[in-house]
Amino acid sequence: MIDMHTHFLFGVDDGPRTIEETLDLVKKAEGEGITDMISTSHACNPHYHVPGSEVISQITLLKDVMKEAGLNVQLYPGQEIRLTEDIIERLDNNELLTLANSRYLLLELPSQTIPAYTVSVIQSMLEREIIPIIAHPERNRAIAEKPERLERLVRHGATAQITAGSLSGHFGKNIQKLSLQLIEANLVHTYGSDVHNLKTRPFHFEKGLDFLERKKLYDIADLLLANNERILSNEPLFLLEPELVKPRKLFGFIG
């Protein structure tokens, strides 16, 4: 299985602090059945910006260390890129990384809002044959208040990623309910752990899938995992027609 949203690089953002903690994360990933991990350290974030050169350099180092440690998880470069007004310019200047050198880019919205220029950025990316995957929309306050806002972005060509911990209940019941609502409305396309550490932000990869199975959403779970694979192979994602989402006031979001 492929985890397409992870923070496993050490000492660069709010992920692991040391290489030992990174290796512990990778060991845990193997235990959860994860075979491939795409690194998505924060970029263009108000608190963190991990340059693409740092991502690639550290992954090269980690591959050597992991080989010596007998770890077989495959690592790929990427970034979780915060939406900014100059994001297209930075893309054109080759300052930002897509996921595993594919056409897919992990796009993080501000935790509170959806900026007015979001649709314009999505359209500009699509013109460049780059497909934005909106990171953890279930943890955005504006979407929590009006889930149909995500539907609008999807209809403009964006895709979305749900977080394993959101489905498992790690972030609370309200986020779990919203996550299920977005999935049932065909507004979610990929699945990632957004792991940062093993204590407060663990994988929950299996637990999230178990939740979908308990809801008898086997086909959706298979589709999400298949789309993760299609990111690595740079193939078109499997998409379902998005459905109208009724407005629903929800609290307890997390950024």
- For all residues of the chain together, what is the average pLDDT? 94
Q: Is the pLDDT of residue 249 over 50?
A: no
Quickly list H helices, the chain: 19-31, 52-69, 87-92, 118-127, 141-145, 148-155, 164-168, 173-184, 205-214, 218-232
14-62 confidence digits (pLDDT tens): 999 999 999 999 999 999 999 999 999 999 999 999 999 999 999 999 9
Q: Is the pTM of this model over 0.75?
A: yes
Return the pLDDT at 44: 97
As its CATH architecture, domain 2-232 has Alpha-Beta Barrel (3.20)
244 band by pLDDT with thresholds 50, 70 and 90 = low
Encode 163-188: b = buried (16+ Cβ within 10 Å), e = exposed.
bbbbbbbbbeebbbbbbbbbbebbbb
Return the pLDDT at 241: 87
175-232 confidence digits (pLDDT tens): 999 999 999 999 999 999 999 999 999 999 999 999 999 999 999 999 999 999 999 9
CA-to-CA distance for 72 and 159, rounded, in angstroms?
A: 30
Domain locations in the chain as residue ranges: 2-232
C-beta separation of 65 from 103 below 8 A: no
The predicted model gives 87-101 an average pLDDT of 97
113-131 confidence digits (pLDDT tens): 999 999 999 999 999 999 9
Q: Which residue in the block uniquely carries the two structure tokens 């979407």?
A: 143
Composition of the chain by helix, strand, coil, percent to 5: 40, 15, 45
41 torsion bin: left (phi>0), alpha (psi -120 to 50), beta (else): beta
253 band by pLDDT with thresholds 50, 70 and 90 = very low
Helix, strand or coil, per DSSP, at residue 142: helix
Q: Is the pLDDT of residue 246 over 90?
A: no
In sequence order, what are the beta bridge partners of 13? none
6 torsion bin: left (phi>0), alpha (psi -120 to 50), beta (else): beta
Q: What is the DSSP letter of 140?
A: -
- The 104-108 sheet, strands edge to edge: 41-43, 79-82, 104-108, 131-134, 159-163, 190-192
Percentage of the chain surpassing pLDDT 70?
95
Q: Is the pLDDT of residue 70 over 60?
A: yes
